[in-house]
Structure 1
Amino acid sequence: MAMALRSRVRSQLYTSTKECRRSRCPSWIFGAQSDYHSNQLTGRGYVPESQQFSGNVSGSKSRCFVQLGSKNIASSSAEIRLAIREPLQPRHIFQRSFSSETHVDAKAEEDPKQTGKNVWEWELAPGDLEVLENNLGSASSPDESVGNLYLRLAYEYVVTGESPEKILRCAEQALKIFNSKPAGEGDWESGRLGLTYHMIGLTYIKTEEFEKALTYLQKSRAILEDYMSKQPPADQGTEELRITNFSSSVLIGEALSSMGKPDEAVTHLRVAVREQEALLGSDHVNLGSSYRLIAETLTNAMKYDEALPSIQKAIEIHAKANGDESVEVAVDRRVLAVIYIGLEQHEEALAQHKLVRKILAGTDLSSQTVFVDIATADTEITLGKYDDAIASLETAVKQVEHGSAMHALALVNLAKVHERQGKKDDADKYAQQVIQILEKKVLTNSDPLAVAEGYTELAALYERLTKTERAIEMLKKAHSIYAPIPHQRHAVAGTQAQIGMLLLFTGKVAEAVPHLENAVETLEETVGEQNYALAMVLNQLGVANLELERLEDGITHFERAKGIFDEVLGADHDDTIAVARNLVNANFLLDRLDEAIKYQEEVVRAWEKKDDEDEFKGMLGDARMELMQLKNQRQETCQP
């Protein structure tokens, strides 16, 4: 009996590796999931690329704001827009710093109207800015007022849309001057210094240098919090600094999200919302955008249950302030659709798509309905409504520019429809058209992220077409685009993991392991050690190690994966059950029958909670039988 049971366990290892990719039952590889898609690291709530925060209706996923045409409806400052959507104007904090006697050819000397005014009250025309900067550069001994003027110039360059290089040049000059003057403890100079760090950090956000941005923004918060703790709450300058501090929290959140650290990002964003509520009140319209940003960030972290209340709060606030058919509500509902897809509530997602399209059709953004049409089609494909999907995509194709990223996205979805209908040759034909578009964009280095996303979509399609080598080729192309981009580390991990999984499925286990190990390392750096995606990859790595006869290593990876699943999903989730079964088999192969029985008892308890669900009927009986066999094996082993 022992040999027969051991043989069955060994057979399960290899059969599951090759055949359980789309199994709904608890599997050795993925856990219970329907219609597995290699484009997603997890078995829960796969969100297709066309539904995620990309393309014309949703700016970069990593930046966490939604874009409609050329108009950014940002939930925080991508430029220097703060809680009340006005440029930062810290006049009061500078009142005590102004000196009309400067060592430069000051504006006041040329224009008597400027005499006696704070530098933030000077009337500066766009043409004045470079002249003033040149004059400041000739100062023989730059003092505090010169620093103030540099900071004012940096601010004006932000407002007028000048290049980040100009902004940084002036802000860093200001910082150099301010840092050369010792500030008194709790002095107003600390507030001014905090503002300067904030502006530099904000500019690095704009240039997508997120590590640098974090350094300056965190320094800004530390300085401003210390300064404000020593000031009267009613001080007007202090209130403006509180707005700046709130903005720094939001920008820190955006930077962390862009770096693929959504959990850390959400922590800072929640702090920002509390600060914003204290400043503006709980029903202020701008809180809606902040709640949306939290929802988007949680969605990127695949925490759909947590994201749902935040986006519902955003809809409530925006609808109350702007009406149910406002563009802000449309953007919120777009995010809500993505969350519903993650929760596998596809009918609800489809309803949201239709509401978004209706709202946009009645605005000057009606041209942007094409992205909604593509997202709608993707959901219709998932629901098996193929005729509806084709109609949506044909409408979209007529509106998009030929050869554009949106054209490629529409064609990918047409390929998906035909594959689902069994028309594999037609699906492959559309895929070839997409490749031609993407290759042209690679040559011109245009839309790199859109191109990378297109390749990952093609990889998923080719996997469904059982063209695994082609799928791996597409993933490697995507990986080569993501890899040099610092804030795409999470995407890098995704492609690494997907390549590893596909190699594992095709029996190329030794080749798969380095890809999976790299994915684990990258995910640990970006999303932390308690993330669902990390657990999924650890599970695959455990499978690979068992197939290579590295049983101890396999168990180590399974145990880490189970610890994460237990915390994130709970003991009775399908994926937690799957990794527990893996631990049963691995421990059995090492003759650790007590451990195997312990995990099998967990499996039985989990199925007992789910046995009334039709799709899992019979699982409990099988689990109990396996538990009995393990106990019998232990009894036989103990007999003399």
Structure 2
Amino acid sequence: MRKASLILSPLRNSINPLSDKAISHFKALIFAHHFHSDFSLGHLERDPASEPHLKPCKNHHGLLYNKGYKQFQRSPCRNMDTIASKAPSISSRQRKIKEKEVLEEEFEAATSTDEILRAFEAMESAFDEKDKRLGLSCLKVGQHLDSVGEDPETTLNYATRALEILEFDGKDSLLVAMALHLLGSVNYALKRFNDSLGYLNRANRILQELELESCDFDIKPVSHAVQLLLGNVKTAMGRREEALVNLCNSLRIKESIFEPNSRELGVANREVAEAYAAVLRFKEALPLCLKALEIHNELLGQNSVEVAHDRRLLGVIYCGLEEHQKALEQNEMAQRVLKNWGLSSDVVEAEIDAANIQIALGKHEQAIATLRGLVQQTKKESGTRAMVFIAMAKALCHQEKFADSKRCCEIASGILEKKEIEQPTKIAEAYTEIAMLYETMNEFETAISLLKRALAICEKIPQEQHSEASTSGRIGWLLLLTGKVQQAIPYLESAAERLKESFGPKHFGVGYIYNNLGAAYLELERPHSAAQMFALAKDVMDIALGPHHVDSIETCQNLANAYCAMGSYGLAMEFQQKVIDAWASHGPSARDEFSEAHRLLEQLKNKGKQSSEGAPIKALPLSNSSKVTHSKIMALSDLEVS
């Protein structure tokens, strides 16, 4: 039996996700914008009957209002006017209204946390629990506490109370959306991501309705904050492809708020570029990063730190696009700026990046020389030194100096295991990189051990679900490669589910995992299950990579092999012909593959003639737009059982 070809998914982590500072970016703007509208505490509607009926006296007696004698205004008892003035009588109801106005003014004037809380407590005792003004004050207190990083549980109480009051009032959807956004932010801080997502989706629906109604108020600041936080929450849940939609929405809204080349837009473009690069979508990341560079260059000059950060990200993107020379140029320009600013730690990281680019360009000796210099600049037990040794191990591995490379890997691993609690995400990425070097040196058991350590770290971090998926998939692939097929299947199945959650069911990585699952089932002599997995893999790869991509062709070949193992030679020949046609499109460069595919087709024809095949087994649907339905999958599984 011809064994299925294994395909290793090229998934890896390139950069960290967006920073959490984006979460509260617009809070001040939202409140400043909103409290200057008709919903300001000082402008809430009141019952006309409750207004004080006091009118100022039109006769200015004596010196009371004389600017030359201000002290008499403060001390009316010293008024020398001989006309007796009668103090107007104020009812208790009017007095309470006045007191409430004073409390509102004091609350509005409060700036520090202590002042705001004291002013709120005073309001709380004077206002009815369902008073809209109290709800608005709860919202302001909650937003302030959230922005300064106070205890999230305390903030949650104010946010929940604000929502209850504002929903009870039922007159202002925008305020309700703001309260929901606050609840989303607090739950995000508490790592209750599902709750956060629920509140934010509700807020988003309200804002979409308001946009359709063409309300009198500009809802853009609130919409921006909601979209940005949705992006961060989905990133934290590992749903990065979905997060990109919200992050792009937030950028689009921000572009309509700020000046075209404002600094805020420069940072926003770079952050969305980082998000695209994190899911290996470098083509989409490139124009955004170039836009950020253009804005920062114009506003701050080419020697600014922001420009240096843009250039470092450009280096990552150009590496992803395999334009390594451009990446090196950007890195060198970034290093010059960082050195001028005295940012030594950033300079070291940029030099490590440069060494990795030199390795990609085949300049191994140059990279090693750079890295040897960096060893002297880093602390003995620092994470940065571990990264230097990993890069050096990579260069030595490329030179096939495996003993030296392993020694560097051991030094790096020894440092990293002491840092797992401090920097779990970076350590997991580093373990994965070292494991890949051991793979290259055919040290598969060591590689699997390191990957399992990385997986154990990723499983504890919700936002690393995509890393968990790719690590699990790699472990499964290595177990399959080393003949531990039964052990490989759970890792591959877990990887498929996590990848679908993170990137969607049609991501190319999902196709690679399905292909390897098919290979595992074929190895276990379960051809029906294998055909099911290969069919799913082909469906994904034809969409994600195109039917003529090398890996798509290999998957089609695997499917033909599975049908052959089932004894369904007619279907096997059908897919073998697809393989031949696909290799033919590659021209002379694929002459050997084309010849081998023809040989296999002739072999299938001979087997078909010799076979007394019974009722034909139906193939799974494989059109580019089709989806394999649950019933068809179950039917194929039933065939295997019978």
Q: Would you say same fold, with TM above 0.5?
A: yes
Counterpart in the other structure of 1:190: 173
Task: Report the AA paired with residue 44 of structure 2.
Answer: S
Name 2:368's counterpart in structure 1: 390
Q: Which residue of 1 aligns with 2:409?
A: 431
- For residues 335 and 587 of structure 1, the distance between their equivalents in structure 2, rounded to whole angstroms, comes to 47
Moved over 6 A (4+): 84-87, 98-101
| Shift, 1:540, TM fit | 0.7
Which residue of 106, 124, 131 corresponds with 2:111?
Answer: 124
- Offset at 1:183? 0.6
One-letter amino acid of the counterpart of residue 523, structure 2: E
Q: Is contact 1:79-1:206 (8 Å) kept?
A: no
The answer to whether the 8 A contact 2:389-2:412 is kept is yes
Cα distance change on mapping 1:353 and 1:605 into 2, 3 Å:
farther
Q: Is the 8 A contact 1:371 1:396 kept in 2?
A: no
Q: Deviations over 1:431-462 (max 9, x none)?
A: 222222222234xx221222222222222222
CA contact (8 A) 1:210 1:259 kept: yes
Match in the other structure for 1:619: 593
Aligned residue among 44, 52, 68 for 1:97: 44
Which residues of 2 match residues 350-361 of structure 1 at below 5 A?
Answer: 350-361=328-339
Q: Rg bigger for which structure?
A: 2
| CA offsets 1:104-158 (integer angstroms, 9 cap, x no match) | xx9x969x9x677495x42423441343355466568423222222222222224
Structure 1 residues 45-124: aligned runs within 5 Å: 52-53=14-15, 61=16, 63-65=17-19, 77-81=22-26, 89-93=33-37, 94-95=39-40, 96-97=43-44, 117=105, 121-124=108-111
Instruction: Work out the CA distance in 2 between the residues paired with 1:138 and 1:229.
Output: 39
Structure 1 gaps of 5+ residues are: 1-9, 17-27, 31-40, 54-60, 66-71
* Displacement of 1:196: 1.2
1:606 to 582, 589, 609: 582
d(CA) in 2 for partners of 1:356 and 1:499?
A: 36
Question: What are the residue-to-residue correspondences of 1:458-537 with 2, within 5 Å?
Answer: 458-537=434-513
Matches of 1:88 and 1:547 in 2, distance apart? Answer: 65
1:581 — aligned with what?
A: 557
The one of 348, 365, 373 equivalent to 2:326 is: 348
Counterpart among 436, 440, 454 of residue 418 in structure 2: 440
- Structure 2 partner of 1:332: 310
1:201 maps onto 2:184 in alignment: yes
**1:564 and 2:540 correspond:** yes
> 3-state DSSP class of the match of 1:440?
coil
Structure 2: how far apart are the matches of 1:572 and 1:314? 36
Given that residues 337 and 348 in structure 1 are in contact (C-alpha distance below 8 angstroms), is that contact kept between their aligned partners in structure 2? yes
Letter paired with 1:128:
E
Partner amino acid for 1:464? Answer: T
Cα distance change, pair 285–623 in 1 and its aligned pair in 2 (3 A): farther
Please give the alpha-carbon distance, in whole angstroms, between the structure 1 residues aligned to 2:189 and 2:310: 24
In the alignment, the residues of structure 1 paired with residue 339 and residue 361 of structure 2 have an alpha-carbon distance, to the nearest angstrom, of: 24
Q: Deviations over 1:87-115 (max 9, x none)?
A: 765213422438799x9xx9x969x9x67
1:164 is the counterpart of 2:118: no
> Aligned to 2:213, what secondary structure does the other structure show?
coil
Pair 208,612 (structure 1): closer, same or farther in 2 beyond 3 Å = farther
Structure 1 residues 85, 133: CA separation in 2 closer, same or farther (over 3 Å shift)? Answer: closer
Higher relative contact order (CA 8 A, sep 6+): 1
Whole-Å separation in 2 of the counterparts to 1:435 and 1:91? 55
1:224 counterpart (207, 211, 227): 207
Is it true that 1:151 corresponds to 2:103 in the alignment?
A: no
- What is the identity percentage for the equivalent residue pairs of Structure 1 and Structure 2? 31
TM-score, length-scaled by structure 2? 0.79
Letter in 2 for 1:405: G
SS at match of 2:34: coil
Determine the C-alpha separation between the residues in 1 that align with 2:223 and 2:119: 29
Change (3 A) 1:127 1:85: closer
* TM-score for both structures, normalised by structure 1: 0.79
- 1-side partners of 2:503 and 2:249: how far apart? 19
Distance 1:362 1:244, change over 3 A: farther
CA distance in structure 2 between the partners assigned to 1:280 and 1:140 by the alignment: 38
**Aligned residues of 1:98 and 1:145 also touching (Cα < 8 A):** no
Is the Cα contact below 8 Å between 2:103 and 2:119 reproduced in 1?
Answer: no
| Conservation of the 8 A alpha-carbon contact between 2:315 and 2:328 | yes
Matches within 5 A, 1:172-183: 172-179=160-167, 181-183=168-170
Say if 1:508 and 1:591 are closer, same or farther in 2 by CA, change over 3 A: same
Aligned length, in residue pairs: 564
